[in-house]
Amino acid sequence: MNPIWIVGVSAGPDSMALLDMLRLQKKRLVVVHVNYHQRASAARDQKICEDYAERYKIPCVVYDAPESYEGNFQAFAREFRMNAFLEVQAAYQASGIYLAHHQDDQLETLVFQLLSKRQPAYLGMKPVLKYRGSQLIRPLLKHTKQDLVNYCHEHNITYGIDESNQSLKYSRNQIRVVLSDLDNLDKRVLLEYQRVYNERIKKLSRLCLPKDNLYIKRYGHWGEFGRLYVLREFLENQGVDVHGMSRAYLKSIDMRLLGLKSQVISLDKEHQLLIQYGKARITSPKSYDFSVKFDKIYYVTNEHFSIQPDGPSTSAVTLRAADFPITVRNAREGDTIAMRYGTKRVSRFFIDRKIDWEDRQSWPVVENARGEVILVVGLGCDKYHFSTNPSLFVLR
């Protein structure tokens, strides 16, 4: 069975050449053209696409983009265009989408990425890319734009030139002007840098990337390039949106990882990076606070603690009338408890026992009416509330 393929066609020489090449390969095609109505030649370009499609009996779907939009036009146009391609692909149950990006586009993308100072998982555009459940295919990345213009002339294919490409309003067009001044050797150097960069990334990808935990000792053996790649992949695999993260931001996280200090780094509203005990992992920000007041002894069980008539000695406490009302709450920054050998910070107990950060946030303590911590579950009660006949036991 001959599968159906979507072809994005703007009417420029690159997409018209691609359309013709695919037709000559006997592929079953559906042309998708988007008219943005932003320039005088827009109607001309639509007609070029429709005439070619009609001549060769190829289905042609035209989308009219809204003339008003918010934010950056190029970002809006790209999003609208890709949504159109995906919509037509679904309607025709097509196998994928052909795009006419060529070597000049690849060079522009390389410079754009390098100037952004980000650490991309792949430098440049991939020839084949999985995208939102689809497959994007770019077969022209080794052809220059001039190659494709020549192809159109040799095969008598009508095409249109987008005059907005000459505008210096957009960053990509500014990069295009700079690249036009480079000779072929300079361009080959850029493409060779891309090849070497992506080869290094490929080698790193063959290694066992961390899944749930990033082990900092192993992570620290890499040079900076490798560490930032592994960090980016780790975050992305955990569902963190890394596309807006600059290289400088990743380096700031990298430095904190190498510092080995226990800490929590907020990444976004849904993710935070927890660093402790030589490893890092992603957790969800949430409130761990709880506080339950008792004016007498009750035996109860809830999601945070349980009060029982018996249990281990490190959960026992002897209460007096002056202690009521008591409060069972989570441990908090600055909590201390008076032990026989001196006052101890509750946080020190957590460190000594290597208690996980998330467990620390919900660890139960008992506070008396004077606001004193008189029991830390697992550590024991203070020196004033110890006896061989405890009143109750508080368990996690």
To 5 degrees, how large is the angle CA 209–CA 351–CA 369? 130
Tell me if residue 362 falls in helix, strand or coil. coil
Q: Number of helices (H) and strands (E) in the chain: give both, helices first.
A: 12, 20
98 neighbors 6 (Cβ within 8 angstroms): yes
Structural fold of domain 4-188:
Rossmann fold (3.40.50)
Task: Report whether 378 contacts 305 (CB < 8 A).
Answer: no
Regions of the chain short of the pLDDT cut 70: 118-119, 164-173, 205-210
Give Rg (Cα) of the chain: 32
Would you list the domain boundaries of the chain? 4-188, 207-283, 291-395
Please report the pLDDT score of residue 351 as a whole number. Answer: 85
> Which letter does DSSP use for residue 256 in this model?
H
* Domain 207-283 belongs in CATH node 3.30.465.60: yes
User: What is the structure's pLDDT at 354?
Assistant: 85
Report the SS3 class of residue 303. Answer: coil
Confidence at residue 233, expressed as pLDDT on a 0 to 100 scale: 83
Residue 88's alpha-carbon distances to 75, 81, 94, 316, in angstroms, are: 20, 11, 8, 68
Residue 138's pLDDT is 98
Query: How far are the Cα atoms of 195, 197, 331, 381 from residue 192, in angstroms, in the given order?
Result: 5, 9, 56, 67
Residue type, 25: Q
Reduce the DSSP state of residue 79 to 3 states and report it.
helix
Global pTM value: 0.60
Measured CA to CA, the distance from residue 179 to residue 186 in angstroms comes to: 9
Q: What are phi and psi of 96, to 5 degrees?
A: 175, -175
Cβ(58)–Cβ(35) below 8 Å: no
- pLDDT value for 245: 84
**Residue whose entry in the numeric block shows the structure tokens 């037709």:** 23
| Alpha-carbon distances of 161 from 34, 66, 74, 78, 158, rounded to whole Å | 15, 22, 17, 19, 10
Q: What is the pLDDT of residue 361?
A: 87
SS3 of residue 276 by DSSP: strand
Greatest Cα pair distance, the chain, in angstroms, is 100
For β-strands 272-276 and 263-266, DSSP reports them as antiparallel
- Rounded CA separation 60/222 (Å): 51
Report the SS3 class of residue 336: strand
Whole-number Å distance between alpha carbons of 304 and 295: 19
Q: Which residues contact 150 (CB under 8 A, 6 or more apart)?
A: none
| C-alpha dist (Å) from residue 48 to 10, 11, 13 | 9, 6, 11
Q: Which long-range contacts (CB under 8 A, 24 or more apart) does 213-217 make?
A: 213/279, 213/280, 213/281, 214/257, 214/279, 214/280, 214/281, 215/278, 215/279, 216/257, 216/258, 216/260, 216/275, 216/278, 216/279, 216/280, 217/278
DSSP structure class, residue 67: S
* The pLDDT of residue 166: 60
pLDDT tens for each residue of 350-385: 888 888 888 888 999 999 999 999 999 988 899 999
pLDDT digits (tens, 9 = 90+) for 318-339: 999 999 999 999 999 899 999 8
Residue with tokens 């930032």: 228
Residue 29 CA to residue 15 CA, distance in Å, equals 13
Give the Cα separation of 359 and 331 in Å (integer).
10
Q: Which of 271, 284, 273, 269 is nearest to 219 (CA)?
A: 273
Among 141, 144, 143, smallest CA distance to 128 is for: 141
- Separation between Cα atoms, residue 335 and residue 353, nearest integer Å: 16
Give the number of other CB atoms < 10 A from CB of residue 54: 10
For residue 349, which phi and psi values (nearest 5 degrees)? -60, -45
